[in-house]
Structure 1
Amino acid sequence: MSDNDDIPECGASAAPASSDHFDEEMLQPFKGKKVGFDISAVPDSMTHRLSTKAKGESEVEMLAQDMENRRNGRVKVPYTIRTRLLHSFKKISNEKGYSQKTAVQVSDVYDFRDIVKGKVESGENYKFTDRIAQCLYFANTEKTALEVLDRAIETIEDLDMKKDDMWFFTDFIFYHTETVAFIPIFRHPLLAALFWAFFFYIGTPILFCSIYQDEGICPNDPTPQNRRYYGVVSSMYFASTTMSTVGYGDLSVSKDARWKVFLGILYMIVAMLVAVMALGAISDTSISKFKGVCEGFLHRLALTMRDKMGMASYRDMLLYQRIRLLKYVKLGDILLQFLCLNCVGVFFSRIFVNRDPLMDWTWMDSFYWAIQTTTTIGYGDMYMSFEMRWFQIFYLVGGTMFVGYALGKLGSLRDELSQMKREYAWERRETDRAMVEQMQGGAEHDGRVDQYEFVLASLLMMNKIDASEVTSIMDKYRDLVSDSGFIELDDVVETKLAQDTLDEEEAFEFEGLDAEGHYKGMFMRAMSMAKGKSDTALYEL
């Protein structure tokens, strides 16, 4: 008998297999053989065939979008309330004697939600201080807990779970809640940084002018005007010179006692912590997007000029032309902001030069001072009037922000160039035998690349993820997969029946391999290990 004797011919009278009962074993005789077989008879769920070319409607894109929506829609919960919810669910699990210590029955979730809802509606334990806290946007424990439990009920109903099904509260809390600060101002990184910066600036004159009077930082006005604010402004100016690392040297901590020297050391460390916190917050907030406006403008300007000159569009540009454009745009962005910042310094310095005859600066002197300030060098070789310290309190911080921004831009340039080279090669790759062979998964190549294989291979080629991350994800999948080679809903039922017969020791060993909660929770955790790097790439693919 030949290899093809058991393969039906196209148009044979035998009834085709129902797509509802299509099994992987039925495809084994056809693998690696060129036969008259209609692949359209195979369900899309088995072949992962791209059923539509509409953007955003493929299986991969819908999966990525669903996970992204779930992550963006998490309930914001302070750490203390999140911990109380976990302890409450764990207490219920222990009292009911469930073998799974991280799970409760669905009916328990409904009962717990009803109890919390009753407390919220009745106003029990609701004090006048709670009303004040609510006006200041502090989180209310019962109302926040009710919001989390309502989300839990919504998730349970979406999954069509039964009352006696086991629900894993640890997975739900991890994937459906986001830990935030209890104090509202600390929930936004920029506001938190501004708060600590304000506290640092206010604390400096309190420390050096009130607690112990340091003439080196908080001097008295040497002029007949006897301005009372002279020492306070000088101390705040000292705070800026320390935090910005400029250090002109015109003000310094007194060193006539060892404890004063030690205090100066602690002050410098605190100043660096505040500066790092502020720079990190600025880079993580919308201000960083605002700073990208200049770079985007230069990029569009360069492309417009190329178009006016009849040169190739960006898509048709060669690799070396793209690299050159990226370098010009990055360096042009830094130079343009550097020039603007120094022009501001020169302009305001001329105002103070005209008001103080002792500041006999020329225009070149003003530019020299602005450069050494914005680069945080601060030689301290130029006379500066007291009135200029008002301006320097803010200008020094601006110079520090620019230096951090410029160094970050230059540091990321090499990575961006490497990424551009990989994406350039990937964008121009055409369908050939090498691509099909390289992107196929498994030992048996069937001559087809499905959407999942294409996405994973492309992410690896563009260095969005690496092989070690894929291995860690597959390690989790191997822990959760059943004998069928899939994670199946049938395993949930089998697990639920098996857990009733477990003793305490067996339950402990079984806890990490349960399929019900992990199917919807822990496997998604493994997927999200690569997701953090590949969300954008998934949508592009």
Structure 2
Amino acid sequence: MNSEENEETGAESSTPRKAGSSAKRVTMSGVESADTAPNTPDDKGPADEVFVLENGGDGDEDDDKPPSKLLTKIEKLVDKVERRRDNRMAVSSKARNHFVALCLQKVSELGGNRNSGIPLAELRKMRDTQKENGGQVGEIFESAVNVMEEAEGRFFYYRSFNEYYLTLEENYFRRNPSIAALAGVLAYYICSLVLFCGILGNNSTCPSTDGRPIYEGWLTAIYFASVTISTVGYGDVSFVGSGTEVWRVLIGTLYMIVAMVVAVTVFSSLSSKALEFTGSAVAPQLEPLIEKFISLEKNESLTTQLRRVWLFKIFELSVTFLLINVFGMCVAMLVMGTTKDGDEIDWSWMTAFYWAVQTTTTIGYGDLDMPFDLRWFNFLFAIIGTTFAASILGSLAELDSKLKNMRTLYIWQNREVSMQLINDMEGDGDKQLDEYEFLIGSLLTLELVQREDVEKIMDKFRDLAGMDQVIDTRDIEQHQRQLSALRISKADIEKYNAKKREEMDYWQDVDHAADENAQ
């Protein structure tokens, strides 16, 4: 086998290399490990690869290290796409909109449409003009020209560039989504206070009773906002309690819709961050124990392992749900023992637990009389408790699907090389698997993509590639010819209309002469 074949296949060269001398290659995308290293200055890899010893040693290390790997073309493509995504140019919304408007105007001047390309020469002119004007738009056009020159392209498609090479600059709230979500929830509560206590003066949602604490009104309003956004709805506070006029019912309906929008968009983001923070704080301590129960071993019965995982997840979710409600129960009993209303109502421990479960499951029958001061705790517990409970119940509902995915992944990971593997995944009948067939076959086997997804992508490929099933410069030239055939300038349209008018005038004259002769 010659040296060129070694470079293409990654096989070892005829000159032996000491055992255990792993190597890395320095590519344009960074340093990657490789199966082989050059043995002499004449053993050169591809133009973009330079092989170096992994640890800079002399190759006398022990041979216990796992073999290094040579990246496939697919992995190189993944790296390329990720680099492009990570290196997108951050621009302001105003600059991006101006850039798109200028490109669209240029395409229209050239007689094209939104899908038409701008010739590179025209793009350079636009770049020079905008750079003279200064500002971020000129920088965008400079980047566009650089991309086109690197790709050696002749036509610039601004819509693709806008999507894949530009991204909006992050403001403070985009950089800190938790702060944005917190500000949104705070705004919801403030607007609720203004609505109930400032505008409507609703005696039900913002009461003012003689002998009651001065905070009764605004605390009730906040409490009502919490049980609304958490969908608990005990029924102890009613929006239409002061009347059932049409306007009051309409405002109540709109308020419920707004509360659900806030819950789905703003509050869900905040609750997800809270769950993520809680998980990151607890997971490191429990990770060794969790891994022991949910990891799948190759030499153990798969059915037994999945049953163990199922039991562990059920136990984990049950304990978490129990702890949340026990916490709510304990605080409720503490309030019962320290308030005047609590002495009058006199809940038992079981009643307090019943109330906590009503709250976290968002059922809220409203069949219990609650101490007024319990609202101090409940306006937070109604939101936090329902968030954790919803996450737990959602995980329980997805458990069967997760176990199925674990089974599929386990079988795939432990599959050995065989003719059955080749027959299952190869698509062209050559009895061998290349990296593309293995990738697509594995994605379909793991159900990470569906047949419909592949069909849409392949339909797009056939549309772009044509009959030869390869996308190359010939397809680009054919595409430009088709666009040129469709372009009709304003001058062409006026010329066509003038010709038609001449024909109409001619035939009108003929008809007029014929009528005169007939007379």
For the criterion TM > 0.5, the same-fold answer is yes
Tell me how far 1:453 sits from its aligned partner. 0.9
Q: Corresponding residue for 2:235?
A: 249
Change in Cα spacing, 1:499 to 1:459, as seen in structure 2 (3 Å) is: closer
Q: Corresponding residue for 2:430?
A: 446
CA–CA separation in structure 2 for the residues paired with 1:73 and 1:280: 30
Tell me how far 1:481 sits from its aligned partner. 1.6
CA–CA separation in structure 2 for the residues paired with 1:119 and 1:389: 60
> 1:336 aligned to 2:319?
yes
SS in 1 for 2:299: coil
CA–CA separation in structure 2 for the residues paired with 1:68 and 1:283: 29
Tell me how far 1:188 sits from its aligned partner. 6.2
Tell me how far 1:345 sits from its aligned partner. 1.9
CA–CA separation in structure 2 for the residues paired with 1:154 and 1:466: 37
Q: Corresponding residue for 1:106?
A: 120
Change in Cα spacing, 1:192 to 1:433, as seen in structure 2 (3 Å) is: same
CA–CA separation in structure 1 for the residues paired with 2:315 and 2:461: 48
Contact in 2 for aligned 1:193/1:281 (Cα 8 Å): yes
Contact in 2 for aligned 1:90/1:102 (Cα 8 Å): no
1:430 alignment partner, one of 409, 412, 416: 416
Tell me how far 1:214 sits from its aligned partner. 1.0
Contact in 2 for aligned 1:99/1:503 (Cα 8 Å): no
Q: Corresponding residue for 2:225?
A: 239
Q: Corresponding residue for 1:152?
A: 144
Change in Cα spacing, 1:372 to 1:117, as seen in structure 2 (3 Å) is: same
CA–CA separation in structure 2 for the residues paired with 1:284 and 1:67: 29
Mapping for residues 90-489 of structure 1, pairs under 5 Å:
90-97=104-111, 102-120=116-134, 142-143=135-136, 145-146=137-138, 148-161=140-153, 165-178=154-167, 185=173, 190-223=178-211, 227=214, 229-253=215-239, 254=241, 255-278=243-266, 280-282=268-270, 287-288=275-276, 290-291=278-279, 300-304=288-292, 314-359=297-342, 360-442=346-428, 445-489=429-473
Higher normalized contact order (CA 8 Å, seq sep 6+, divided by chain length): 1
Tell me how far 1:216 sits from its aligned partner. 0.8
Contact in 1 for aligned 2:219/2:375 (Cα 8 Å): yes
1:414-436 CA-to-partner distances (Å, cap 9, x unmatched) read 22122122222222222222221
Corresponding letter in the other structure for 2:363: I
CA–CA separation in structure 2 for the residues paired with 1:151 and 1:299: 46
SS in 2 for 1:281: helix
Tell me how far 1:286 sits from its aligned partner. 8.1
| Mean CA deviation greater in 73-82 or 168-177 | 73-82
Corresponding letter in the other structure for 1:200: Y
Contact in 1 for aligned 2:341/2:372 (Cα 8 Å): no
SS in 2 for 1:358: helix
1:370-418 CA-to-partner distances (Å, cap 9, x unmatched) read 2222222223344433333222221111122123212321232222122
Change in Cα spacing, 1:289 to 1:148, as seen in structure 2 (3 Å) is: farther
Tell me how far 1:151 sits from its aligned partner. 3.6
SS in 1 for 2:260: helix
Tell me how far 1:201 sits from its aligned partner. 0.9
Tell me how far 1:245 sits from its aligned partner. 1.6
Tell me how far 1:156 sits from its aligned partner. 2.5
SS in 1 for 2:118: strand
Q: Tell me, which stretches of 5 or more residues in structure 1 are unaligned?
A: 1-9, 21-43, 46-52, 121-141, 307-311, 507-541
Corresponding letter in the other structure for 1:205: L
Change in Cα spacing, 1:471 to 1:283, as seen in structure 2 (3 Å) is: farther
Tell me how far 1:278 sits from its aligned partner. 3.6
Tell me how far 1:339 sits from its aligned partner. 3.0
Contact in 1 for aligned 2:182/2:270 (Cα 8 Å): no
CA–CA separation in structure 2 for the residues paired with 1:80 and 1:408: 41
CA–CA separation in structure 1 for the residues paired with 2:108 and 2:279: 53
1:88-120 CA-to-partner distances (Å, cap 9, x unmatched) read 101122334568863212233344344444444
Instruction: Give the TM-score taking structure 2 as reference length.
Output: 0.71
Contact in 1 for aligned 2:321/2:389 (Cα 8 Å): no
CA–CA separation in structure 1 for the residues paired with 2:309 and 2:191: 44
Corresponding letter in the other structure for 1:93: V
Tell me how far 1:218 sits from its aligned partner. 0.6
Tell me how far 1:305 sits from its aligned partner. 7.2
| Mean CA deviation greater in 151-160 or 263-272 | 151-160
Contact in 2 for aligned 1:373/1:399 (Cα 8 Å): yes
CA–CA separation in structure 1 for the residues paired with 2:162 and 2:380: 43
Q: Tell me, which stretches of 5 or more residues in structure 2 are unaligned?
A: 9-44, 47-66, 490-519
Tell me how far 1:167 sits from its aligned partner. 1.2
CA–CA separation in structure 1 for the residues paired with 2:360 and 2:257: 21
Change in Cα spacing, 1:503 to 1:377, as seen in structure 2 (3 Å) is: closer
Tell me how far 1:298 sits from its aligned partner. 5.3
Change in Cα spacing, 1:236 to 1:331, as seen in structure 2 (3 Å) is: same
Tell me how far 1:75 sits from its aligned partner. 3.8
CA–CA separation in structure 2 for the residues paired with 1:437 and 1:404: 44
Change in Cα spacing, 1:101 to 1:462, as seen in structure 2 (3 Å) is: closer
| Count of aligned positions | 426
1:329-380 CA-to-partner distances (Å, cap 9, x unmatched) read 4333422332332243234334423321331344444333322222222233
Contact in 1 for aligned 2:298/2:414 (Cα 8 Å): no
CA–CA separation in structure 1 for the residues paired with 2:202 and 2:113: 66
The structure with more radius of gyration: 2
SS in 1 for 2:420: helix
Q: Corresponding residue for 2:493?
A: none
Corresponding letter in the other structure for 1:300: P
Corresponding letter in the other structure for 2:162: I
